[in-house]
Amino acid sequence: MITELAAMLKDRFGIVFNNPDLLAEAFTQASYVNEHQDQKLKFYERVEFLGDAVLELAVSEYLYKRYKDMPQGKLTRLRAAMVCEDSFASFARECGFPQYIRLGKGEQKARAWERDSLLCDIFESFVGALYLDQGREPVLKFVHQVIFPKLDEGRFDGVFDYKTTLQEYLQRDGDVDIDYQLIEQDGPANERSYEIAVLADGKKIGQGWGHSKKEAEQSAARQAYSQLQQSNDQ
């Protein structure tokens, strides 16, 4: 099982562990260790402890650098949405981790690999093991592949109001006329989609779409804000 996991990590993420025992530890639950005491195995809880801290720091640093003008309260809310059980369990599923978790027979029968709490732990323990095995840079490369693109996909848009965030950013030095214009609407009434552009002093700075005008406006504001932040980085 761990051999297959190592092959998947190499093919999908370009990750090759120097110490395969660390990788095995990260994917081993205590129930499996208890049933194989003769093998003197370790289970994931200690590396999970480390991975939790590594992930919080990596996400915090990324948000701090990307959103240079975002106030601390909003950064905290966004980080909380990204660094949580639901998100980490989702990332673990998207990485294909559930099938590689080593469980005792009882936990296998109970389909423990489907539990968000366990998947969250495994995601954190994997990152902790990767950090111990290879250091900071491979961890950052991995989270840039797995976590940060979800920001651009809008997965965390519900955390705060992008329209307000964009307005605060544009008007930090004075009044700016911000307008949201409907470009197109499509589909039947019960499945209608909207495409909306956001303009600042008459200049288009972003556009987005959604199944309601409000959702489309938030999408447009998020795109505009992200592009403005990226422009500042150049």
Which residues are known to be catalytic? 52, 124
DSSP secondary structure letter of residue 28:
B
114 in a labelled binding site: no
First to last CA, the chain: 45
DSSP letters for 67-104: -TT--HHHHHHHHHHHSSHHHHHHHHHHTT-GGG-B--
For helices 45-66 and 116-134, what crossing angle results, to 10°? Answer: 80
121 in a labelled binding site: yes
Q: Is 58 exposed, middle or buried (0-12, 13-18, 19+ CB in 10 A)?
A: buried
124 in a labelled binding site: yes
Cα–Cα distance for residue pair 124/89, rounded to 1 Å: 10
Pairing of the two strands 178-186 and 193-200: antiparallel
The token pair that represents 7 in the structure block: 């092959």
Residues belonging to the binding site are 48, 121, 124
Residues belonging to the binding site for Mg(2+) are 48, 121, 124
